[in-house]
Amino acid sequence: MAEYGNGKRPIWQWVIIYLVIGGIIYGVIYYAFLKGDYSSTPQQQALQTVPSPSSQNTQNVSVEYSSQGFNPRTITIKAGQAVTWINKDTNPVEVSSNPHPTHTDYPPLNEVGLIQPGQSKSFTFPQAGKYGYHDHLDSTNFGEVIVN
């Protein structure tokens, strides 16, 4: 005699029903939220390596990092402009969005990440707002980008 689960259906039929329903739910979630090309998200397009000086965009604004922190500490740019952080210190700097340590105010800014001594990285700010950041390795060093 076959084993019966809920109702009068055999257990194997219930297993198949649950698998089909689960597959449908997974498909809906995949197509609604997960489908897409993550290799070209706006946040990843905003992060770029600094081009050679001969091809640098004149609208790029620089912030130097040294043992005294970020200089200038506050800058104002227009939407679509890039900020380049230049590490002139002997230690690495890790540019991260405020607040420390959660970095949740503007997560795309966290993609700038670690900058080794003598190197630089750029980030393009696509929309207006105030974006606070800090050195994750030394959170007493901080700055702000104001985008108009």
In the chain, the domains with their CATH numbers are: 1-35 (no CATH), 42-147 (2.60.40.420)
What whole-number distance in Å separates Cα of residue 118 and Cα of residue 23? 51
CB atoms within 10 A of CB 92: 15
93 CB contacts (<8 Å, ≥6 apart)?
Answer: 65, 85, 87, 114, 115, 135, 137, 141
Q: How far is CA 120 from CA 36, 55, 137, in A?
A: 30, 15, 16
Instruction: Kindly report, residue by residue over 26-77, the tens digit of the pLDDT.
Output: 888 877 776 554 444 455 445 544 444 433 444 679 999 999 999 999 999 9
Q: How far is CA 62 from CA 23, 84, 101, in A?
A: 50, 5, 25
What whole-number distance in Å separates Cα of residue 107 and Cα of residue 88? 25
Strand partners, 69: 66
Across the chain, how many H-helices and E-strands are there?
A: 2, 10
Instruction: Kindly report, residue by residue over 21-32, the tens digit of the pLDDT.
Output: 999 998 888 777
Quote the pTM value.
Answer: 0.61
